[in-house]
Structure 1
Amino acid sequence: MRVNKFNQPIGEDLKEFELPKAPTIDVLEGKYCRLEKLSSHHIKRLYHHFKANEDAPNWTYLPDEQPQNYEAFESYIHAKIQTKDPYFLAIINRSDQDVVGMLSLLRINEKNASIEVGHIHYANKMKQTCVATEVHYLLANYIFGTLGYRRYEWKCDALNEASIKAAKRLGFKYEGIFRNHTIYKKRSRDTCWLSMLASEWSEYRMKFENWLDPFNYDEFGIQINKLSL
């Protein structure tokens, strides 16, 4: 622990730390999926998965209301395409080239080297697949390895147990609850905060890569070893 001239404990010296840049992703390529900057050519396939009725439960904890027709959905996506923060990405399954989800990088804080992942929306066919895990490996590796951020955040409604469970499985550490943090969809939200640090990523990266290795899958495509972070 460092101390100052008054013998008070102080944080790590960052005088030589180089501040990160904002994300500028065109394509992030993985074994099972790729991430592309969200664009208009993703709209039709996303609408196929996210249209009214069939996908309604997946909108409960998203900040937006579900568009009720194609025209409204098209406008919804076009608005997302235009923003730089949040910075929206589409998820493509390499096995069939289907657009199976979207998410964003947001609260991009270059000054404090902190960034968040959010607006995570998967097609039902993508859930609990290797694609759903590899997406977060690709993002974390880009955030820490390419851009040089120190802190990677995951926040969600504290009632969204599935999101919290997923974040913990991916290596995000629980930090606490911000009570009455926001109001959305005419209801109160307590927000659960989780994070991953650059200092943790080198160990996590190896575990992700071992889990994603084709040798970790049996003849039925089931993982032999679990991801344990």
Structure 2
Amino acid sequence: MNFDQNLYLENEKVILRPLHQNDLPLLQTIAFDADTWRWTVTKIETLPDLKNWLNGSITDRQKQSRYTFVIVDKATGNLAGSTAFGNISETDKRLEIGWTWVSKACRGTGLNRHCKFLLLRYAFEELGYERVELKTDVLNLRSRQAMRKIGATEEGILRSHTLMHDGRRRDTIFYSILRAEWPQLKATIFADLSTSPTQV
């Protein structure tokens, strides 16, 4: 994973591009929605919260620990949220796709599915990684269903795994997709997206 590269992934519906400081004004138009942060470790309610999230994401890229993208809805040209590669192990050829949030207007539109396809294809076909991990709050049924819909395998629950913004200790459920499974998933679950070009 080359953290110095400005990575752009694109198909007919969505563009994933690196998060930048100058995205702050556009992020302000979509970030302040309580339901977005219901199941996340981070809670963004104020402009300082958003600035801290943005600065932390950029710092993590500089530290080569997380690569954060903004999601651009090509139908409108507007920002639709954010997602990231993280917990990267070059030795183990493993990474996580996560830290994903999508604006209220774009939920249920299929945008997140397009994002996951682009990220999975890049991880397996460009980086040559062997394993992609995903995880969520065990109570987040919408997220769990979405992970199953893209063919991820449920692996188990880590109890009292993560401290949430409201003080609750979250049970975290893990999912994964392996490189050996990707061709079949690409040919079935993502068959309608597989002919779309990826731009890097």
Confirm whether residue 26 of structure 1 aligns to residue 7 of structure 2: yes
Q: Give, as a single letter, the amino acid of the residue that structure 2 aligns with 1:64.
A: T
Residue number in structure 1 paired with 2:174: 193
Distance 1:151 1:22, change over 3 A: farther
After TM superposition, the score normalised by the length of structure 2 is: 0.87
Shift, 1:126, TM fit: 1.3
Residue number in structure 1 paired with 2:122: 142
Residue number in structure 1 paired with 2:42: 64
Q: Give, as a single letter, the amino acid of the residue that structure 2 aligns with 1:79.
A: G
CA offsets, 1:139-162, max 9 Å, x none? 000000000110000111111111
Paired with 1:118 and 1:210, the residues of 2 have a C-alpha distance of: 23
Residue number in structure 2 paired with 1:89: 69
After the TM superposition, which of the residue ranges 99-108 and 74-83 deviates more from structure 2? 74-83
Which structure has the bigger radius of gyration?
A: 1
Paired with 1:34 and 1:59, the residues of 2 have a C-alpha distance of: 23
Paired with 1:200 and 1:43, the residues of 2 have a C-alpha distance of: 38
- What does 1:47-62 align with in structure 2 at a 5 Å threshold? 47-51=28-32, 55-62=33-40
Residue number in structure 2 paired with 1:79: 56
Paired with 2:75 and 2:16, the residues of 1 have a C-alpha distance of: 14
The CA RMSD over aligned residues, in Å, is: 1.9
Paired with 2:48 and 2:171, the residues of 1 have a C-alpha distance of: 33
Residue number in structure 1 paired with 2:198: none
Among candidates 158, 163, 167, match of residue 143 of structure 2: 163
Confirm whether residue 119 of structure 1 aligns to residue 99 of structure 2: yes
Kindly indicate whether the alpha-carbon contact (under 8 Å) linking 1:130 and 1:212 is maintained by their aligned counterparts in 2. no
CA offsets, 1:61-85, max 9 Å, x none? 11112131x3442343122122122
Q: Relative contact order (alpha carbons < 8 A, sep ≥ 6): 1 or 2 greater? A: 2
Distance 1:72 1:178, change over 3 A: closer
Kindly indicate whether the alpha-carbon contact (under 8 Å) linking 2:70 and 2:81 is maintained by their aligned counterparts in 1. yes
After TM superposition, the score normalised by the length of structure 1 is: 0.77
> Which secondary structure does the structure 2 equivalent of 1:50 belong to?
coil
Aligned length: 190
Q: Give, as a single letter, the amino acid of the residue that structure 2 aligns with 1:192.
A: I
- What does 1:196-207 align with in structure 2 at a 5 Å threshold? 196-207=177-188
Kindly indicate whether the alpha-carbon contact (under 8 Å) linking 2:16 and 2:72 is maintained by their aligned counterparts in 1. yes
